Amino acid sequence: MGREDEIRLIAYGIWEEEGRPDGRHLDHWLRAEIIWGGQSSEAAARGIKSASGGPVERDRRPRAAKKKSVG
């Protein structure tokens, strides 16, 4: 999974945690970039990488949102 995909997942989790408000996508994206950057720095400091070679992703979505899509 690439950087943008990881940020997109984090932003989605933020959006869901806030009750899925309209018109806040840029705020959610920017906050997700900050979170992703922090994870990247933390993982680099520990020498940990994900299978894709990027930072270890922490899924911040609520459990109900973690359903796998079919198809």
Q: What is the pLDDT of residues 1-26, one digit of tens each?
A: 899 999 999 999 999 999 999 999 99
Overall number of domains in the chain: 1
Q: State pLDDT tens for residues 51-70.
A: 445 544 455 555 555 445 55
Look up the domain containing 31 and give its range: 3-62
Q: Is residue 67 assigned to a domain?
A: no
Closest listed residue to residue 35, CA positions, set 52, 67, 59: 59
CA 55-57-60 angle, 5° bins: 150
Assigned domain for 71 exists: no
In a domain, 14, yes or no: yes
**Domain membership flag for residue 17:** yes
This prediction's pTM = 0.57
What is the spatial distance between Cα 29 and Cα 8, in angstroms, rounded to a whole number?
A: 7
Size of the chain in residues: 71
